[in-house]
Amino acid sequence: METILIRNVRAVDSLRDAECDILLKDGRIAAIGQNIAAEDTAFRVIDGSGLAAMPGLFDMHVHFRDPGQTHKEDVNTGSAAALAGGVTGVLCMPNTTPPMDNPEQVREFLERAKKTGVDVHQAGTLTVGLKGERLADYEALKAAGVTALSDDGRPVPTAELMEQALANAKKAGLPVVSHCEDLAIIDGGIINKGAVSEQLGVRGMDRLSEDSVTERDLQAALKTGAQLHICHVSTRGSTDAVRRAKAAGGNVSCETAPHYFLLTDELLLKQDADYRMNPPLRTPDDVQAITEGILDGTIDCIITDHAPHTAEEKADFRKAPNGVVGLETSLAATLTAFYHTGKLQLQDIVRLMHDNPKRLLHLPVNTLSVGEPADLILVDLNRTWTVDPDKLHSRSHNTVFKGMTFTGKVMMTITGGEIRYTYEE
Ligand code: DOR
């Protein structure tokens, strides 16, 4: 394995934000400091001036569609997209075909994932077959290697079943990651319910669907004392509910995705299904609430909900499946919205996109200190680029950010001490 010396880089993690050199050797950080000598000419020297080095990002909400829907994505193409976006660890949601409700399938997937260079984790299902009827065997799923439990893509239909799921998950020592939606309220809705859905004459998804089930699950977490993480928060109501449950002492957390702090449902006037996901783009007031939630710590993580679908599947605005890819744009979108506007420091972004998700999943939180894994990214904070769907590494190109310009580009991704991705113009 090559020994790599990164010179004059801005090193950013929970412990530091300082200009220095970083030496990577045998898959670990061997030294960090000023003027590290390149004694050995076999070193690869990387000029880090103008770049920031951070621990590789961890995205705790992705869909790799593997097994069963690999025409959209698989563990290899999903991992390539992750590496291009500076994401070196992921939690895959279990709505695969068949769903991840059995230990054999989890083991087989995790074994294949080891070859990707990405730290791939898998969530097991909360209910057998994602049917919302019977709970899966959490102890067996844990023994097979799952990191969390979720029925993401579908809600758990009743409070009673969710309480039982939380109680069993607590016994198994696994966090529950909850997709909060009331299908009776949704009633076939395809975009946010409001002025835009009315103008288009399409059925809307009322925010009450998200807000009420978020409240229900938070109450169940408070009652059982189990660890609950609320998925893809998109409304003022659910942000406020999480804030209250945290103040009440719940072992609760939540996440949002860049589209919820950058975009609104006005975009749906284009009648392009690439702007459709679940939960849907909301209103300027929700964008404001999500932004406040990130700034005051109510929202713990920025994830992507990377949900690949093919162009054919997305062709019909009304019938297309929900979901957008996001792994290759999440850091750039976050830097543009929060760092370049002066709302957050780089260390805050490392906390939202590495430290918090790993802490919530009980995984080791990395820093750039000696002895830590050589899993890091080099980012040109000031490089401006325009999102071109055809240049994405994902098998699907359904990005909600197509044509948008961001400032901040991942230039290199290193995992296990090896260079896995280099940006090429
Ligand atoms: O937009 C979404 N797509 N939301 C989900 O909850 C599921 C996901 C998918 O699997 O496509």
Nearest-angstrom CA–CA distance, 140 and 103 = 6
CA–centroid distance, residue 10 to ligand 1 (Å): 36
pLDDT in tens, the chain (425 residues): 899 999 999 999 999 999 999 999 999 999 999 999 876 656 899 999 999 999 999 999 999 999 999 999 999 999 999 999 999 999 999 999 999 999 999 999 999 999 999 999 999 999 999 999 999 999 999 999 999 999 999 999 999 999 999 999 999 999 999 999 999 999 999 999 999 999 999 999 999 999 999 999 999 999 999 999 999 999 999 999 999 999 999 999 999 999 999 999 999 999 999 999 999 999 999 999 999 999 999 999 999 999 999 999 999 999 999 999 999 999 999 999 999 999 999 999 999 999 999 999 999 999 999 999 999 999 999 999 999 999 999 999 999 999 999 999 999 999 999 999 999 98
Q: Which fold has domain 4-53+370-385+404-422?
A: Urease, subunit C; domain 1 (2.30.40)
- Report which protein residue has its CA nearest ligand 1's atom 3: 323
CA–centroid distance, residue 96 to ligand 1 (Å): 11
Residues in the chain: 425
Given this model, what pLDDT does residue 240 score? 98
Report the pocket of ligand 1 as residue ranges, CB < 6 Å: 63, 95, 152-153, 179, 277-278, 305, 307, 321-323
CA–centroid distance, residue 375 to ligand 1 (Å): 29
Query: Please, are residues 281 and 38 in contact by the beta-carbon 8 Å criterion?
Result: no
Q: Model-level pTM greater than 0.75?
A: yes
Nearest ligand 1 atom to the CA of 322 is 1
Nearest ligand 1 atom to the CA of 231 is 6
Query: Please, are residues 269 and 292 in contact by the beta-carbon 8 Å criterion?
Result: no
Given this model, what pLDDT does residue 425 score? 84
Nearest ligand 1 atom to the CA of 232 is 6
Structure tokens at 161: 């079943």
Q: Which fold has domain 56-360?
A: TIM Barrel (3.20.20)
CA–centroid distance, residue 263 to ligand 1 (Å): 17
- Report which protein residue has its CA nearest ligand 1's atom 7: 153
In the chain, which residues fall in CATH 2.30.40.10? 4-53+370-385+404-422
Structure tokens at 351: 């906390």
In the chain, which residues fall in CATH 3.20.20.140? 56-360
| Residues involved in catalysis | 305
The CA–CA distances, whole Å, from 318 to 155, 161, 196, 297 equal 22, 32, 14, 36
> What are the residues whose beta carbons fall under 8 Å from the beta carbon of 307, sequence distance 6 or more?
63, 277, 322, 323, 324, 325, 326, 398
Nearest-angstrom CA–CA distance, 192 and 203 = 9
CB atoms within 10 A of CB 103: 19
